[in-house]
Amino acid sequence: MHFKDFSDLAAVDQLQQVAGTPCDLTRPGLLSADRFADYRMSSCGFELLYATQRLDDVVLDGLQALADEAELVDKFCAMKQGAVMNRIEGYESEERRVLHTACRDIFREQPGYPEAAAQARQQLAALQSFLQDLEDGTIVNHKGESFTTMVQVGIGGSDLGPRALCLALTAYARPNRAVRFIANVDPDDAAAVLAGLDLSRTLVNVVSKSGTTLETLTNEQLVRTAYEKAGLDPASHILAVTGEGSPMDDPERYLASFYMYDYIGGRYSATSMVGAVTLGFLLGYDRILDLLAGAHAMDQAAEERDIRNNMPLMMALTGIWNHNFLGLPTLAVLPYSQALIRFPAHLQQCDMESNGKFMTRQGNPVRWQTGPVVWGEPGTNGQHAFYQLLHQGTEIVPAEFIGFRHSQYGHDLEVEGSTSQQKLIANMLAQSLALALGRSHENPNRYFPGNRPNSILLADRLTPYSMGALLALYEHRIVFQGFCWNINSFDQEGVQLGKVLATRILAEIIHQDRNGEVTSANDSPEKDLLRQAAVSGRE
């Protein structure tokens, strides 16, 4: 496998030559029936409509050449088969395999990396057994009552993905089961969540891969104290999901323990036990299998070499076209589904933590743009908020719409001749067209320039299966882009400096708090800032 710099690829040169005059979406007749039919693909229950991207067959051929020259699919397949993709050549780095796909590689006889798939099966079996014990009354509280709530305590990858999925699938929740989340070290986060709970009927799922995450351990301690104050035994209520051998791997302190492995990055861990335990409590075991089946189907579909038949690859490359060739620095993800309200926040992490990098896999500074700023909110809400800028602002924002033909609950009503679901989907399609086509008008303030690139993802309904496919689709889009930019999408060295400085500032706060004065050593920016901030953090 060759890892070439992005700017050294011949296909990049070729694309650069056509990028100055991208396809004009406002040209009358361009958005024709043929174009809509041609620039469309299907995969795992989703259709991707990309006629409203600023590209044509020349660009698509160039993007195919880019995918081929950068060996994106080869690298993806190697990743699934256990290549050590999380590394920087020649420097100290994590040196790990990248095998989140193994979490769902449980449906075929010859998985991509059998050892990891076996561990996934093992953990799933343990989860199934635990859920069954809850079901049949083997595990109950001290009064013999069933548990009705699970609180997941985790942060970053141990929070955003699982939270987004739980919110997305609440419509399928089992009766009398609810989930909550505590992430922030802000003590008000735990206080607000715990205020509304009957602790005696609550399980707490503490999730930290390293078993050393400051926020999570602090919140675990807050929760344990709350149980003790309520006269309850924490060890009968608290579960752990952690790496084998981590400081949290101590089954005596927990009602149950589940494992994740060092080949699963936090932001890619939603289909591991990091997400599956709380999701399993909420939805039941069978629906977890549906979620995994959807993700696995997309894992397989991403091995296709033709970009017109590989949805995550197509999304990766159109993203690169918009970002590197058309020069657009951000990306809006706009689900027309209230259930996906926190999916953009999950993607924001998964994408920006993966591809917000400025060193190549060989440790050289990149000479091209890497990951964009990813953000978004559900439609139609956003239409009444930031869409003004999308249509008429000076910043051009590529948009990815996500919609479903049917609602989850099916509680709908016809008002003025149409259902809410019909209004919802009509609005999504309308926004895609409005951004692309624009509109001329004699009042300059009512003129729309158009040529705002976007695409639409459509499926029948948001279910565990389609949610799994959607999650994997975005995971792979991100990974393909990282390979193309020749960066390591699997580490996060950029979070370390803040931790170092926080430790120093915290030590100074503690010192000042105890002694009423700054430490005796010389001034430093930390002490100077702290003096101006006048912070102690004591109540």
Which 55-114 positions form the footprint of a copy of itself (CB under 8 A)?
A: 88, 91-93
User: Is 149 an interacting residue with respect to a copy of itself (CB under 8 A)?
Assistant: no
Distance CA 386, CA 382 (A): 6
Smallest separation, CB 520 to a copy of itself (Å): 16
Smallest separation, CB 438 to a copy of itself (Å): 8
330-335 and 399-404: which strand pairing? Answer: parallel
Nearer to a copy of itself, 109 or 539 (CB): 539
Q: How many CA atoms lie within 13 A of 225 on its CB side?
A: 8
User: Is 186 an interacting residue with respect to a copy of itself (CB under 8 A)?
Assistant: yes
Distance CA 283, CA 278 (A): 9
Nearer to a copy of itself, 231 or 410 (CB): 410
Distance CA 4, CA 368 (A): 13
Q: How many residues does the chain have?
A: 539
Distance CA 241, CA 254 (A): 10
User: Is 210 an interacting residue with respect to a copy of itself (CB under 8 A)?
Assistant: no
User: Is 23 an interacting residue with respect to a copy of itself (CB under 8 A)?
Assistant: no
Which 377-406 positions form the footprint of a copy of itself (CB under 8 A)?
A: 377-381, 383-395, 397, 405-406
Which 35-64 positions form the footprint of a copy of itself (CB under 8 A)?
A: 36-37, 40, 47, 49, 51
Nearer to a copy of itself, 121 or 423 (CB): 423
User: Is 241 an interacting residue with respect to a copy of itself (CB under 8 A)?
Assistant: no
Nearer to a copy of itself, 81 or 408 (CB): 408
User: Is 26 an interacting residue with respect to a copy of itself (CB under 8 A)?
Assistant: no
Of 171, 197, 232, 293, the residue at the interface with a copy of itself (CB under 8 A) is: 171
Which 315-344 positions form the footprint of a copy of itself (CB under 8 A)?
A: 329-330, 336-339
In the chain, the N- to C-terminal Cα span, in Å, equals 57
**353 belongs to the catalytic site:** yes
Which 341-360 positions form the footprint of a copy of itself (CB under 8 A)?
A: 345, 348-349, 352-353, 355-359
Nearer to a copy of itself, 144 or 444 (CB): 444
Scanning 131-139, 276-284, 298-306, 491-499 for contacts with a copy of itself by CB under 8 A, the matching segment is 491-499
Question: What dihedral angle (degrees, nearest 10) is formed by the CA atoms of 222, 223, 225, 230?
Answer: 140
Cα separations in angstroms, 201 against 192, 234, 262, 497 = 17, 12, 33, 40
User: Is 192 an interacting residue with respect to a copy of itself (CB under 8 A)?
Assistant: yes
Cα separations in angstroms, 154 against 112, 182, 270, 364 = 29, 7, 12, 34
Distance CA 183, CA 202 (A): 17
Nearer to a copy of itself, 169 or 307 (CB): 169
What value does the CA radius of gyration of the chain take, rounded to a whole number of Å? 25
Q: What does the H/E/C string look like for 104-133?
A: HCCCCCCCCCHHHHHHHHHHHHHHHHHHHH
**527 belongs to the catalytic site:** no
Which 272-311 positions form the footprint of a copy of itself (CB under 8 A)?
A: none
Nearer to a copy of itself, 58 or 501 (CB): 501
Which one is catalytic: 2, 143, 229, 384? 384
Scanning 109-117, 150-158, 284-292, 306-314 for contacts with a copy of itself by CB under 8 A, the matching segment is 150-158
Which one is catalytic: 142, 406, 441, 499? 499
DSSP, res 323: I
User: Is 516 an interacting residue with respect to a copy of itself (CB under 8 A)?
Assistant: no
Q: Which residues of 176-202 are buried (b: 16+ CB within 10 A; e: fewer)?
A: ebbbbbbbebeeebbeebbeebebbbb
Smallest separation, CB 109 to a copy of itself (Å): 35
User: Is 150 an interacting residue with respect to a copy of itself (CB under 8 A)?
Assistant: no
Nearer to a copy of itself, 163 or 237 (CB): 163
Distance CA 194, CA 198 (A): 8
Smallest separation, CB 186 to a copy of itself (Å): 4
149-153 and 454-459: which strand pairing? Answer: unpaired
Smallest separation, CB 226 to a copy of itself (Å): 9
User: Is 418 an interacting residue with respect to a copy of itself (CB under 8 A)?
Assistant: yes
> Which residue from 500, 509, 401, 418 is spatially nearest to 458, judged by alpha carbons?
401
Scanning 118-126, 143-151, 248-256, 428-436 for contacts with a copy of itself by CB under 8 A, the matching segment is 428-436
Distance CA 325, CA 395 (A): 16
- Do residues 260 and 274 make contact, with C-beta atoms less than 8 angstroms apart? yes
Nearer to a copy of itself, 133 or 250 (CB): 250
Scanning 72-80, 269-277, 288-296, 528-536 for contacts with a copy of itself by CB under 8 A, the matching segment is 528-536
Which one is catalytic: 75, 237, 323, 353? 353
Smallest separation, CB 374 to a copy of itself (Å): 8
User: Is 7 an interacting residue with respect to a copy of itself (CB under 8 A)?
Assistant: no
Beta bridge mates, 182: 153
User: Which amino acid would we find at residue 504?
Assistant: R
Q: How many CA atoms lie within 13 A of 301 on its CB side?
A: 28
Transcribe 232-285 into DSSP letters: --GGGTEEEEEETTSTT--GGGSSEEEEE-TTS-GGG-TTSHHHHHHHHHHH-H
Residue 153, Cα to own-chain centre: how many angstroms?
Answer: 18
Interface pattern 443-462 for a copy of itself (x via CB under 8 A): xxxxxxx------x-x----
User: Is 245 an interacting residue with respect to a copy of itself (CB under 8 A)?
Assistant: no
User: Is 127 an interacting residue with respect to a copy of itself (CB under 8 A)?
Assistant: no
Of 432, 451, 466, 481, the residue at the interface with a copy of itself (CB under 8 A) is: 432
* Residues known to be catalytic: 353, 384, 499
